[in-house]
Structure 1
Amino acid sequence: MPPVFSHGDLRLYLLNLLAEAPRHGYDIMQSLAERTGGTYTPSAGTIYPRLSKLEEEGLVTKTSDGRKTVYEITDAGRAEVRDRADDIAGIEAGLADTVRLIADEVRTSVREAMKSLRADLAAAANESPRASASTPPPAQEDPRARAREELHRAEAAIADFRGRVRAELRSHVARGGDLPAAVVDALQAGLEAAASSLSESLRR
């Protein structure tokens, strides 16, 4: 993936964040992670030297607030933000595109997982009659016992699928990624379709 910020863009975007409100360093890093959909989580070694440079240029000031250092934009900094409003708009548009790409990737992953699940259910439903016809169950086999065994297999498959999807979603959000409502809607629709496919297979 190409760099989220081109040369000089991060400096300008830091000024833009401080134009919104005074912030301490950790707040700045969290805001950057959120606004880039988790694609960019800067380190302290990246942010603080740039803040120090902005302070040297007279564009920000810093004050101590207990154990935290709060950075605040100066009039000169606000003037630069106003003068470069078009550049800032371009940076924000690029960030929005990045977040949309991430949302598309998540939606694609969910759709593929749902498609795979429906295919597995359909294949199992089609295979079951053929297997029964070619290999009759022994006379002593209890159909209820066999059904319970298959139920355990189905529950294990569902638990595995749930765990994988849940872990992927939680990991994505933990990295600061956005989770649009459309992605959740797609997930719900896919699960409903899978449940309907299962019900239809059981009624055959």
Structure 2
Amino acid sequence: MSPVFAHGSLRLYLLSLLDESPKHGYELIQALTDRSGGTYSPSAGTIYPRLAKLEEEGLVTKTSDGRKTVYEITEAGRAELAARAGELDGIEDQLTDSVRRIADEVRSGVTAAMKSLRADLASAAREAKQSAKPGPSWTSTTEEQADQQVQGRLALHETDVSINEFRQAVRAELREHVARGGALDDDTVSALRADLVAVRDRLRERLQG
């Protein structure tokens, strides 16, 4: 899988997240997951050493809030962000490109998995036919039903993949839009819901027809 952040970029991006508001480690991990549309979810082992380094450099401070440790950017941290504002813009563009690249890789993986599934199903169908002994109960209708079952399973899997790809793509677009400060009003949400209901109704009519 392609890396999301180039060397040193994650450190600066963490500073920008803390500039928005103080956060504990899990909130930073969740923010990175959300802004990458779910394609990147860093481990604690990735985040906390960088936070410790930022604290050591005087760019963030940490305080205990019950059982959680909350990190907050310092004035020195804000000064570094201001001095590297252009670089931060480049990281935002890099993040967008990385998310798209990872999504392409996921789609390629799904395509390969689909080809493998087709081959497995075809092989299973052939083996079933070869092992079945012709007899009074074995008819051409039985063979057709077996073929239909195999094709039905394959088609159902393909629809599951398509639905998941659609969901991930829409989710990534919405989260990226909101992360960049875009508005997501009730009218947009209602319109999206209405469109999805319309698609479902058309599918239902097709299946029943």
Q: Normalising by the residue count of structure 2, what TM-score does the alignment of the two structures yield?
A: 0.57
* Partner Cα separation in structure 2 for residue 57 and residue 182 of structure 1: 36
Give the aligned length.
158
The equivalent residue for 1:79 is 79
Do the aligned partners of residues 167 and 17 (structure 1) sit closer, same or farther apart at CA in structure 2, a change above 3 Å counting? Answer: same
**Cα displacement (A) at 1:54:** 1.1
User: Does structure 1 retain, via aligned residues, the 8 Å contact 2:39–2:103?
Assistant: no
Do the aligned partners of residues 161 and 68 (structure 1) sit closer, same or farther apart at CA in structure 2, a change above 3 Å counting? Answer: farther
Q: Match for 1:150 among 134, 144, 149?
A: 144
Backbone CA RMSD of aligned residues: 4.2
**Cα displacement (A) at 1:103:** 3.4
Gap regions ≥5 residues in structure 2: 119-134, 173-198
Partner SS, residue 17 of structure 1? helix
**Cα displacement (A) at 1:69:** 0.9
**Cα displacement (A) at 1:39:** 5.0
The equivalent residue for 2:28 is 28
Q: Match for 1:180 among 164, 169, 186?
A: 169
Task: Please state if 1:45 is matched with 2:45.
Answer: yes
**Deviations for 1:90-123, whole angstroms, at most 9, x for unmatched residues?**
0110110111223344556778859x98xxxxxx
**Deviations for 1:125-184, whole angstroms, at most 9, x for unmatched residues?**
xxxxxxxxxxxxxxx989xx64455234323332245347647976x89xxxx811399x
Partner SS, residue 70 of structure 1? strand
User: Does structure 1 retain, via aligned residues, the 8 Å contact 2:2–2:98?
Assistant: no
Task: Please state if 1:101 is matched with 2:90.
Answer: no
Do the aligned partners of residues 110 and 58 (structure 1) sit closer, same or farther apart at CA in structure 2, a change above 3 Å counting? Answer: closer
* Partner Cα separation in structure 1 for residue 78 and residue 104 of structure 2: 35
Partner SS, residue 5 of structure 1? coil
The equivalent residue for 1:159 is 153
* Partner Cα separation in structure 1 for residue 171 and residue 41 of structure 2: 24
AA partner of residue 27 (structure 2): D
**Deviations for 1:25-72, whole angstroms, at most 9, x for unmatched residues?**
122123223334555432222211211121122211112222111111
**Cα displacement (A) at 1:20:** 1.6
Do the aligned partners of residues 154 and 21 (structure 1) sit closer, same or farther apart at CA in structure 2, a change above 3 Å counting? Answer: farther
AA partner of residue 65 (structure 1): D
Higher-Rg member (1/2): 1
Do the aligned partners of residues 53 and 106 (structure 1) sit closer, same or farther apart at CA in structure 2, a change above 3 Å counting? Answer: closer
Identity %: 52
AA partner of residue 28 (structure 1): L
AA partner of residue 85 (structure 1): A
Task: Please state if 1:66 is matched with 2:70.
Answer: no
* Partner Cα separation in structure 2 for residue 15 and residue 22 of structure 1: 10
